[in-house]
A and B are shown apart, each in its own frame.
Chain A
Amino acid sequence: MNLTISHIREIQQYSEKPIFGFILYALFFVYNLYGSFILQFHKYTRKTKIDPSAIIHPSACISPWGVHIGKDVIIGEKTVIKPHTTIHSGAIIRDQCVIGDSGYQIYRYKTKRLPIIHTGGVLISNDIHIGPNTCIDGGLFGKITYIGPRSMIGEQVHIGHNIWIGSDSIIEEKVTIGGNTFIGEKVHIGNNSVISNRINISSNSILKPGTIATRDIMDNTA
C-alpha cells in the first residue's frame, strides 16, 4: 500500500478522537513489545561478519551483532555502526558518521510521546563515499534505507528512514532528507537544500543549492 499525504492527514484526524486515538496508542505499544522481542532474538542468531581486508580505525564502534562489512571497506575514526547494517565492498565511510541509528517516528496522543522501535536496517551498496558527520537512520517496520552503488554523499547530511537513493547520484553538504522519499538515479542535490518526506524525485533531475522541495519532481528537470 502506498501511503500519500492525504491518507496520513485522515489518520491524524482520527488520532485526535479520544477512543480511536487510545486504541492506536495501544496498538503501537504492542508493536513496540513485538519489535523488542525481535531485536532480542536477532541478538543471539545474527553475528557480525567483517571481511579481513577491511580497514577500520580502532576508535570506531561497531555493534557485536547484525553487521556485515564487505571487502576493502574503509571506516574512519569515531564512526558508530549500529545493528542491521550491511556495507558492500569498496565503500568509504569517513569520520564520526552514525549509521543505522533509530529514526524519528513518534506517535502523539495528548501529552504522551511514544517513539516506535525500528526493526529495519541500512543497506549501503558498493563504491560509495560518505563524508564526515553524516547520519543515516535505519528502516521502520522491517524495511530498509537503500543507497545505490557509486553515489557520493557529502558531510553533515541527514538521511531519514525508509529512503531509496538510486545509483550514481550526488548529494552535497548539509542536505536534509525526510523519511520515506524516493530519489532516482543520477540525481544531483545542491548543498543546504531540504527535501520533505513522502515525495518522489525522479532520475536525472538537478536541485540547485538552497532549494526547499515540498512537491514531486518529474523527469529530467533542473
Chain B
Amino acid sequence: MMISEFIESEDEIVHDTSFSSVGHLHGKNEKRLVPINSTQDLNYAILSETIAGYIIPETMPIPNITGKGILLSPHPIRTALGIQKKIIQNFKIPNLPTRIHPSAHIHPSAIISDMNIVIQKNVEINENVVINENSIIEKNSIIGPNTIIGSIPKSCYADPILKDFNPCGSIRIKQGVVIHAHCCIEKPWFQDTTTIGQRCHIDNLVTISQGAVVDDFSLITANSEIGEYATIGKDCWIGLRTSIQPGVKIGDSCYVTLGSKVTKNIGHGMVVKDNWAIKRERFKGIIT
C-alpha cells in the first residue's frame, strides 16, 4: 500500500513510500506509519528501523531523512486513525457474537458487551466488572470487583477530535490469571494486543496501559502503573506503587522494589531499587 492512496485534501506528502500497517511509536509491527507530536518523539523514532514513515504536524520543521515517507497534516493522530479505518473497511473483518462457556460464573451486576468476546470455562467474574469488545479471557482466570477490561486509553491522545473513532485493538488474558479489585486494562488504538501471560497475579488499583505485554508467571502488586507498549519478562516481581515509563523493556526474573520509577531498559535477573532506579549490580559496594 502507498500513502498516496489514502490521502485526504488537508494533508500534504513530502516523500511517498509503501507501508503495511499503522502503529504506535513504541509498537513492534514492521513497516508501520507512525503519528508524531513532538521533536522528542521524532528523535526517538529516527533510531528505530521498523518504522516506514512519519506523520508530522504542520508547525514542525521538516527533517532531512532519506528513504522514509513523510506526511504533513494538521492533526497527525486523526489522520493515522482515518487511514486505519479505511484499511479495516477494505479487509471487511466480520463481527462475531460473544461466546460464554456455561460453566463460567458471572455476577449479575457485571456488564459484558455483546460483540467479539470469548469467555472460556471456569472463569469467575465478580461485581460491577465492565468488559468491552475484542477481548479474550481464557480458562480458570478470576477477575475481581470494579475492574474495567478494555477501557479507552487516556494517554496523550485524549482529544475531542477523536470522538468518531473507536480503539480497534484487542485484549488477551491467558489461563489462570488472577486480577484483583479496581484494575484497569486499556485497549490499544491501533491493531495490537495487550496480553497478560498465564498464572499472573495482579493486585488492586493497577493500570495496564495500551499495548503492554506482561509475560508468564510474573507478579504485579498494588497501585503500580505500567506504561504504553512496555514489556515485562517472565517471573518478575513488581513492587508497590512503581511506575514503568512507556516503551521500557524489563527482562526475565527481575525484582523492581517499592516506589521506584523505571525509565530505561533492564536486563535479565536485575534488582532495581529506589526512586532513582540504578542497575545495582554495577555499583556493588558503593551503594547499599
Closest to A59 in B: B109
- Whether, in the assembled complex, A174 has its beta carbon less than 8 Å from a beta carbon of chain B, the answer is yes
Set of chain A residues within 8 Å of B126, measured between Cβ atoms = 80
CB-based contact A115/B241 at 8 Å: no
- Whether, in the assembled complex, B205 has its beta carbon less than 8 Å from a beta carbon of chain A, the answer is yes
CB-based contact B182/A133 at 8 Å: yes
Closest to B109 in A: A61
A102 to B145, CA, bound (A): 11
Closest to A115 in B: B178
A97 to B32, CA, bound (A): 42
CB-based contact B201/A104 at 8 Å: yes
Partner of B240, one of A61, A96, A137, A194: A194
Partner of A80, one of B128, B199, B223: B128
A104 to B109, CA, bound (A): 24
Set of chain A residues within 8 Å of B223, measured between Cβ atoms = 156, 158, 174, 176, 194
CB-based contact A194/B146 at 8 Å: no
- Whether, in the assembled complex, B258 has its beta carbon less than 8 Å from a beta carbon of chain A, the answer is yes
- Whether, in the assembled complex, A178 has its beta carbon less than 8 Å from a beta carbon of chain B, the answer is yes
- Whether, in the assembled complex, A101 has its beta carbon less than 8 Å from a beta carbon of chain B, the answer is yes
A61 to B181, CA, bound (A): 14
CB-based contact A61/B205 at 8 Å: no
- Whether, in the assembled complex, B11 has its beta carbon less than 8 Å from a beta carbon of chain A, the answer is no
- Whether, in the assembled complex, B203 has its beta carbon less than 8 Å from a beta carbon of chain A, the answer is yes
Set of chain A residues within 8 Å of B178, measured between Cβ atoms = 115
CB-based contact B241/A176 at 8 Å: yes
Partner of B146, one of A96, A174, A192: A96
- Whether, in the assembled complex, A57 has its beta carbon less than 8 Å from a beta carbon of chain B, the answer is no
Set of chain B residues within 8 Å of A212, measured between Cβ atoms = 258-259, 274-275
Partner of A135, one of B204, B217, B219: B204
Partner of A101, one of B109, B144, B258: B144
Set of chain A residues within 8 Å of B180, measured between Cβ atoms = 101-102, 104, 135
Set of chain A residues within 8 Å of B146, measured between Cβ atoms = 78, 80, 96, 98
A112 to B205, CA, bound (A): 24
Over the window 91-107 of chain A, the binary record of Cβ atoms lying under 8 Å from chain B Cβ atoms (1 yes, 0 no) is 00000101001101010
Partner of A113, one of B145, B201, B240, B259: B201
- Whether, in the assembled complex, B127 has its beta carbon less than 8 Å from a beta carbon of chain A, the answer is yes
A-facing residues in B163-181 (Cβ within 8 Å): 176, 178, 180-181
Set of chain B residues within 8 Å of A106, measured between Cβ atoms = 201, 219
CB-based contact B181/A111 at 8 Å: no
Beyond A80-B145, A113-B217, A156-B205, 5 additional contacts (C-beta under 8 Å) are A104-B201, A158-B204, A158-B240, A196-B258, A212-B259
